[in-house]
Amino acid sequence: MKLINRMKLEFDAISINEAFARSVAAAFCVTQNPDMEDINDIKTAVSEAVTNAIVHGYEKSGKGIIILEAELYENQVKITIEDTGKGIENIEEAMQPFYTSKPEDERSGMGFTVMQTFMTSLSVTSEKNKGTKIVMTKKFNDVSEEN
Spot the catalytic one: 17, 18, 22, 52: 52
Spot the catalytic one: 48, 89, 106, 127: 48
Active-site annotation holds for 52: yes
Q: How far is CA 106 from CA 5, 35, 47, in A?
A: 39, 33, 18
Active-site annotation holds for 107: yes
Active-site annotation holds for 48: yes
Spot the catalytic one: 40, 59, 107, 141: 107
Catalytic positions, written as ranges: 48, 52, 107
